[in-house]
């Protein structure tokens, strides 16, 4: 059994453990233990992976486990990781771990909350380790559906509406994905032989061009819905604003990355010719998303809405970078996913903690929080600076790489969209600093806030672990980018090989 299978077994065992718990406190500690173990497992995986690579193992994917499941349809339980998926697994385990602590003060139905949360995370882990399109899709939907109950039961505001909207839009995306995957499967052996769901095997083939042109938009839009691609992003602000803290963290931090990862791993990797042909349409949409999200964040008054729109902007940047089809930009895309994942999780965790104390999320009603809760405020500033791409934090590394890579495409079209997208950095700085100014600085507007407490120990664990993540990547990005570069090798080669077929 490969170490990767543990990533599915540990959450399931944790859920079983939760079901046997008697008190709410036990539920929390079992969740902490389970997800802590998962986190350690992820670190072990990263170390093992780096060790293998250093030892000269150049296989495309490592830690492979392959069991036949449905013989007739050639469905396997096939797991394995390359540098990119290892990075994503590291991100997920960090955010989930922090999320457990961030939901320490959940009010109602503890057992159910943590069960659904961990079930969701197991879907995410399963998605990142899968090399078989069928199981990949299975885990994808498993990650989406608990969201309905998590937002609907424990959310705030118009939670019923948001939960339904989010679920239906995401499942609408997954319907497109399902057809796309079935289409890939049915055309996976253009030169004869058995059909397969195996990503690695399919990537060695060239699918028929007319099918590619049909399937690529399905898959890119389908995954793009979860990646908050304009104009399919509308679930994101409502959903994030209504979701409870840990769910916002997990959703913006990790689940939206499923979209980006899917676009990259399935749509672009398996259908490179079509990606070259019709990618420009989605590039325009992604660019609009980057700008639109940034300006949207500028107008909002609700902290969660600000952050949700900022996520639309940042995730648009991920798709933007993927569609640049070169090594540097793609490297940046993955870095951006990791960086944004941690950073936005930190934002949502902080917003949740602030909201838990002030009971409002409208920035105009708050002010001077720096004096009342210095720890949370400083953390918020750090998150903000990371978000606007200050050197020393992860955001800078990611955005820099993306724009350098994007500028390598020398034609006018790519240059123009790059310049437009790059201008979003300025807008980002404006809305981040505006929030910091109104929310944290100045004088305290509400006398009752004087009594508020600063972060508790569990808040601190959550926040500090995330800040550490941002800083480590910001200060020492090379090990990460090397790891990612190795994983990106095959896909970039494939794209280069496909490029001459451009019209």
Partner 1 sequence: MLIMRHELLLIVITVILLVVEIFLPNTRKRKIILPAILLMAAVTVIGFFPGTPGILFGGMYQSTQLSMLLKNILNVGVLIIFIQSVDWLKQDQNKEKISEFYLLMLSTLIGMNYMISSGNFLMFYLGLELATIPIAALAAYERFKEKSAEAGVKLIFISALSSGILLYGLSMIYGTTGTMYFADVAPLITGAPLQVLAFIFFFAGMAFKISLVPFHLWTADVYEGSPVNVASYLSVISKGAAVFIFTIILYTVFTKIAVLWSEVLYVIIILTITVGNLFAMRQQNLKRFLAFSSIAQAGFILLGIISQSQVGMTTVIYFVLVYIFSNLGAFGVVGIISNRTGKETINDYDGLYRTNPKLSLVMMLALFSLAGIPPLAGFFGKFFLFTAGAKQGYYILVLIALINTIISLYYYLLVIKAMFLNNSDQPIAYFKSDNYTRLGLILCVAGIVVIGFTSSVYELIYNLSFGLY
Residues that bind partner 1 (CB under 8 A): 69-73, 75, 134, 137-139, 141-142, 145, 148-149, 152-153, 159-160, 163-164, 167-168, 171-172, 175-176, 178-179, 182-183, 185-186, 214
Nearest CB to partner 1, comparing residues 71 and 447: 71
- Cα→Cα distances 440→313, 362, 412, 472, Å: 23, 13, 43, 26
Which residues make Cβ contacts (< 8 Å) with residue 324, sequence separation at least 6?
A: 283, 330, 402, 405, 406, 408, 409, 414
Q: Please, what is the minimum distance in Å from the beta carbon of residue 407 to partner 1?
A: 38
Sequence-ordered list of residues with C-beta below 8 angstroms from that of 472, at least 6 positions apart, any chain: none
Q: Please, which residue, 27 or 45, has the CB nearer to partner 1?
A: 27
CB of 299 to partner 1, least distance (A): 30
Instruction: In angstroms, give the least distance from the CB of 438 to partner 1.
Output: 34
Q: Tell me the three-class secondary structure of 2-55, residue by residue.
A: CHHHHHHHHHHHHHHHHHCCCCHHHHHHHHHHHHHHHHHHHHHHHHHHHHHHHC
Rounded to a whole number of angstroms, the minimum distance from the CB of residue 147 to partner 1 is 12
* 107-111 contact pairs (CB < 8 A, 24+): 107/154, 108/153, 108/154, 109/153, 109/154, 110/24, 110/27, 110/28, 111/18, 111/19, 111/21, 111/24, 111/27
- The neighbouring-strand residues paired with 62 are 81
C-alpha torsion 438→444→447→450, nearest 10? 110
CA distance 364 to 343: 23
Rounding to the nearest 10 degrees, give the CA dihedral for residues 397, 229, 187, 486: 10
Residue 113 or 320: the one with the smaller Cβ distance to partner 1 is: 113
**From the CB of 419, what's the least distance to partner 1, in Å?**
38
Nearer to partner 1, 139 or 320 (CB): 139
C-beta closer to partner 1: residue 168 or 426: 168
Question: Shortest gap between Cβ of 92 and partner 1 (angstroms)?
Answer: 19
Q: Rounded to the nearest whole angstrom, what is the least distance from the CB of residue 247 to partner 1 in the complex?
A: 14
Q: What string of H, E and C letters represents the secondary structure of 82-113?
A: CHHHHHHHHHHHHHHHHHHHHCCCCCCCHHHH
For the packed helices 235-242 and 146-154, what is the interaxial angle rounded to 10 degrees? 50
By C-beta, is 75 or 318 nearer to partner 1? 75
Contact yes or no for 337/462 (Cβ under 8 A): no
Contact indicator for 31, 100 with CB cutoff of 8 Å:
yes
Shortest reach from residue 67's CB to partner 1, in Å: 10
What are residue 455's DSSP bridge partners? Answer: none
Give whichever of 165 and 201 is closer to partner 1, judged by the CB atom: 165
Indicate the residue among 155 and 332 with the shorter CB distance to partner 1. Answer: 155
Nearer to partner 1, 69 or 375 (CB): 69
> Closest Cα partner for 356 from 483, 459, 496, 202?
459
Residues facing residue 65 across a β-bridge:
79
Cis amide prior to 231 (ω within 30 degrees):
yes
CB of 17 or CB of 172, closer to partner 1: 172
Shortest Cβ 303–partner 1 spacing (Å): 24
Q: How many CB atoms neighbour CB 390 within 10 A?
A: 15
**Nearest distance, CB of residue 167 and partner 1, angstroms:** 7
């Amino acid at each position: 059994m490969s170490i990767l299978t543990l990533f599915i077994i540990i959450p399931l065992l944790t859920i079983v453990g939760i079901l046997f718990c008697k008190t709410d406190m036990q539920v929390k500690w079992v969740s902490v233990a389970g997800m802590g173990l998962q986190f350690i497992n992820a670190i072990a995986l990263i170390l093992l992976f780096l060790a293998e690579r250093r030892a000269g193992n150049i296989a495309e994917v490592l830690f492979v486990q392959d069991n036949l499941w449905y013989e007739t349809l050639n469905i396997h339980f096939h797991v394995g990781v390359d540098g990119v998926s290892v990075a994503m697994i590291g991100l997920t385990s960090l955010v989930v771990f922090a999320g457990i602590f961030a939901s320490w003060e959940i009010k109602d139905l503890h057992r159910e909350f943590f069960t659904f949360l961990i079930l969701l995370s197991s879907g995410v882990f399963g998605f990142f380790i899968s090399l078989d399109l069928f199981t990949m899709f299975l885990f994808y939907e498993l990650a989406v559906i608990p969201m309905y109950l998590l937002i609907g039961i424990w959310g705030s505001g118009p939670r019923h509406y948001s939960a339904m909207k989010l679920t239906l839009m995401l499942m609408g995306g997954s319907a497109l994905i399902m057809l796309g995957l079935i289409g890939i499967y049915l055309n996976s052996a253009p030169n004869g032989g058995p059909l397969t769901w195996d990503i690695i095997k399919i990537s060695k083939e060239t699918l028929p061009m007319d099918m590619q042109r049909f399937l690529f938009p399905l898959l890119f839009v389908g995954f793009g819905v979860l990646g908050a691609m304009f104009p399919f992003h509308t679930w994101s602000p409502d959903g994030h604003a209504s979701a409870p803290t840990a769910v916002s963290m997990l959703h913006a931090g990790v689940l939206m990355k499923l979209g980006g990862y899917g676009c990259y791993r399935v749509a672009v990797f398996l259908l490179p010719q079509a990606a070259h042909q019709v990618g420009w349409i989605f590039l325009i949409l992604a660019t609009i998303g980057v700008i639109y999200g940034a300006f949207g964040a500028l107008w909002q008054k609700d902290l969660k809405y600000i952050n949700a729109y900022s996520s639309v902007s940042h995730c648009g940047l991920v798709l933007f970078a993927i569609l640049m089809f070169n090594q540097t930009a793609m490297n940046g895309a993955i870095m951006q996913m990791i960086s944004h994942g941690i950073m936005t999780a930190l934002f949502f965790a902080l917003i949740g903690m602030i909201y838990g104390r002030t009971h409002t999320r409208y920035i105009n009603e708050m002010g001077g929080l720096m004096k009342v809760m210095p720890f949370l405020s400083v953390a918020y500033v750090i998150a903000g600076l990371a978000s606007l791409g200050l050197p020393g934090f992860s955001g800078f590394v990611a955005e820099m790489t993306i724009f350098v890579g994007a500028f390598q495409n020398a034609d006018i079209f790519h240059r123009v969209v790059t310049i437009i997208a790059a201008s979003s950095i300025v807008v980002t700085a404006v809305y981040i600093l505006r929030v910091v100014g109104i929310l944290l600085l100045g004088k305290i507007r509400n006398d009752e806030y004087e009594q508020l407490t600063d972060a508790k120990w569990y808040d601190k664990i959550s926040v500090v672990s995330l800040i550490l993540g941002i800083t480590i990547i910001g200060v020492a990005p090379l090990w990460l980018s090397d790891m990612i570069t190795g994983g990106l090798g095959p896909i970039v080669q494939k794209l280069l090989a496909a490029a001459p077929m451009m019209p």
